């Protein structure tokens, strides 16, 4: 299998001559404080994290979900409860004809292909939404609340609340993929409850309601976890079409996923066929290559790209619950949320979701810093299209720039340059054709996310930790 190369020097502005494993070994040695986890049965100290390989410590390598062992590391970021309304005692009536607490693998209506995307929102999700909008295609987003170092989805200092609002506004369905992408079958009841309730709290904080549909990470559930999900009132949805895009995240490998799609869909009649599909929006090639290929095929073969609820013929009013005992959001509110007009010139997800649309004198653009206006600074680079009108295309960072802002920009372009960089990292240690994580050294294991694809945030986090330990 071909190696992935990560251009570390271009991200941080200093030269690296040693291999990746050697690069971080000294940092790890200095910070290891003891063993922990399932293999040792010991819990780390207060505010410490337990890495996937069973070492206590602090920092990105040890604490980031989903690798940090939440049962043994009190400081794991997944153990941080999000702010928002408590959903623990929310009414959970079981309405409609779709079963609760049971596995659902396929659609009910011929001619439908339910597109679904797991593990987001992520750096590429906005571009995915733009693509779906161009094709008038609907999808379901199985959202993970805190994973891949992206922070909590309801953090107002991130773009995630605005993207989730846009998903709903564009007619997509929101579903739960747990709080931090843990393997549910390995968790105690209390930790399992946190995985579901924490995500509900974050959703309710953003939208005022939370989903009734979910997908277990790693497709891992059993009779016990199914019963718990039934108790919480969830439809457990899987899939019967998987292109394995997460295994083929490179330009020369994504054709394998396209072939899987073609073997399943191409030339089939919509009168007698239907599929419930799965992809992942943190996978670069899935967003920027595979998805449009699938959308063209759907159109060419006269299928319809729909949400999971639609393909199951479940009314949108059944897709969500409110925190109180009041009725769930209606079909209208779940598909077309109304953004409040700005009251003070501020806009965006960090300012209550206020929009500049309708502002006088052409000041209808929402700038990257959340101000309504009509200048090029408001309408050009960084303009927020969900909360106003925008003009122009953002420019990439200037060559030769460095620092935290450029690191932030670099994570967006990392996947597109990863194949041609300088520092080699063996892809065999990072990919597997099963849902189980491969055995790897602690520093390498920290790079492996829920579906075993390398993410830019993980790479940048490693770089930041190394700089902290050793200096630039």
Q: What is the DSSP string of 329-393?
A: PPHHHHHSPPPPBPSSSB-BGGGTTBB-TT-GGG--EE-TTSBEE-SHHHHSTT--GGGS---S-
Q: Residue 37's beta-bridge partner residues?
A: 42
**Would you state the pLDDT for residue 172?**
98
**Would you state the pLDDT for residue 275?**
98
The DSSP call for residue 395 is: P
pLDDT band at 115 (very low <50, low <70, confident <90, very high): very high
Question: Which structural domains are found in the chain, ordered by start?
Answer: 103-332 (3.20.20.370), 349-387 (3.30.60)
State mean pLDDT over 259-286. Answer: 97
Q: What is the pLDDT of residues 359-385, one digit of tens each?
A: 887 788 988 788 899 998 888 776 777
**Would you state the pLDDT for residue 441?**
35
**Would you state the pLDDT for residue 352?**
67
pLDDT at 445 over 80: no
**Would you state the pLDDT for residue 332?**
34
Residue 361 tokens read as: 């004198």
Point out the residues that are catalytic. Answer: 118, 280
State mean pLDDT over 152-157. Answer: 93
Residue with tokens 């805190």: 146
Q: Which helix or strand (DSSP H or E) is residue 187 part of?
A: none
**Would you state the pLDDT for residue 350?**
63
Contacts 24+ apart (CB under 8 A), 220-225: 220/183, 220/184, 220/185, 220/435, 221/103, 221/184, 221/185, 222/185, 224/185, 225/184, 225/185, 225/192
Q: Residue 189's beta-bridge partner residues?
A: none
**Would you state the pLDDT for residue 42?**
93
Mean pLDDT of the chain: 78
Q: What is the pLDDT of residues 296-325, one digit of tens each?
A: 999 999 999 999 999 999 999 999 998 874
**Would you state the pLDDT for residue 386?**
67
Of the listed ranges 17-21, 197-201, 297-301, 459-463, the one predicted with least confidence: 17-21
Residue 229 near residue 221, CB atoms below 8 Å? yes
Q: What is the pLDDT of residues 181-229, one digit of tens each?
A: 999 999 999 999 999 999 999 999 999 999 999 999 999 999 999 999 9
**Would you state the pLDDT for residue 61?**
87
**Would you state the pLDDT for residue 358?**
82
Residue 184 near residue 225, CB atoms below 8 Å? yes
Residue 177 near residue 282, CB atoms below 8 Å? no
**Would you state the pLDDT for residue 361?**
77
Give 368's Cβ-side CA count (13 Å radius).
Answer: 7
Q: How far apart are CA 273 and CA 238, in angstroms?
A: 17
More confident residue, 448 or 52: 52
pTM (2 d.p.): 0.69
The span from the first CA to the last CA of the chain, in angstroms, equals: 33
Cis peptide before 147 (omega within 30 of 0): no
List Cβ neighbours of 468 (8 Å cut-off, separation of 6 or more).
Answer: 59
Residue 294 near residue 115, CB atoms below 8 Å? yes
**Would you state the pLDDT for residue 343?**
82
3-state secondary structure of 424: strand
Q: Residue 341's beta-bridge partner residues?
A: 355
pLDDT at 391 over 90: no
pLDDT band at 388 (very low <50, low <70, confident <90, very high): confident
225 φ, ψ to 5°?
Answer: -70, -35
């Amino acid at each position: 299998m071909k190696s992935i190369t990560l251009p570390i020097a271009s991200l941080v502005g200093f030269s690296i001559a040693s291999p990746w494993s050697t690069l971080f070994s000294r940092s790890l040695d200095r910070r290891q404080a003891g063993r922990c986890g399932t293999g040792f049965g010991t819990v780390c100290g207060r505010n410490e994290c337990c890495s996937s390989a069973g070492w206590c410590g602090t920092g990105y390598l040890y604490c980031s979900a989903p690798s940090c062992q939440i049962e043994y590391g009190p400081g794991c970021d997944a153990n941080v409860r999000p702010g928002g309304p408590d959903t623990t005692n929310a009414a959970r009536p079981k309405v409609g004809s779709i079963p609760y607490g049971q596995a659902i693998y396929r659609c009910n209506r011929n001619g439908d292909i339910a597109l679904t995307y797991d593990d987001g929102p992520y750096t590429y999700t906005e571009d995915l939404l733009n693509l779906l909008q161009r094709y008038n295609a609907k999808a379901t987003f199985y959202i993970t609340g805190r994973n891949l170092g992206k922070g909590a989805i309801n953090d107002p200092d991130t773009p995630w609340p605005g993207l989730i609002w846009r998903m709903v506004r564009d007619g997509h369905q929101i579903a739960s993929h747990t709080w931090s992408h843990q393997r549910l079958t390995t968790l105690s009841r209390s930790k399992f409850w946190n995985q579901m309730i924490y995500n509900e709290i974050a959703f309710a904080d953003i939208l005022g309601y939370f989903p009734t549909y979910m997908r277990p990470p790693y497709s891992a559930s059993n009779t016990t976890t199914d019963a718990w999900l039934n108790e919480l009132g969830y439809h457990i949805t899987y899939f019967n079409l998987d292109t394995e895009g997460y295994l083929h995240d490179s330009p020369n490998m994504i054709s394998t996923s396209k072939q899987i799609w073609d073997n399943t869909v191409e030339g089939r009649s919509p009168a007698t066929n239907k599929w419930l599909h799965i992809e992942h929006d943190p996978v670069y090639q899935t967003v920027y290559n595979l998805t449009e290929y699938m959308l063209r095929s759907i159109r060419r073969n006269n299928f319809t790209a729909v949400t999971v609820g639609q393909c199951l013929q479940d009314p949108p009013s059944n897709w969500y619950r409110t925190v109180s005992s009041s009725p769930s959001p209606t079909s209208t509110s779940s598909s077309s949320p109304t953004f409040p007009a700005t009251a003070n010139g501020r806009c965006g997800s960090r300012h209550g979701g206020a929009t500049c649309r309708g502002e006088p004198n052409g000041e209808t653009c929402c700038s990257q810093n959340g101000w309504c206006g009509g200048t090029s600074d408001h309408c050009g680079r960084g303009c927020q299209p969900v909360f106003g009108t925008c003009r122009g295309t953002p420019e990439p960072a200037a060559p030769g720039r460095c620092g935290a802002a450029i690191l932030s920009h670099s994570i967006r372009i990392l996947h597109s340059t990863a194949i041609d960089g300088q520092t080699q990292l063996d892809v065999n240690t990072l990919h597997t054709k099963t849902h189980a994580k491969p055995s790897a050294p602690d520093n390498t294991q920290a790079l492996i996310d829920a579906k075993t694809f390398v993410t830019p945030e993980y790479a940048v986090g490693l770089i930041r930790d190394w700089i902290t330990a050793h200096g630039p």
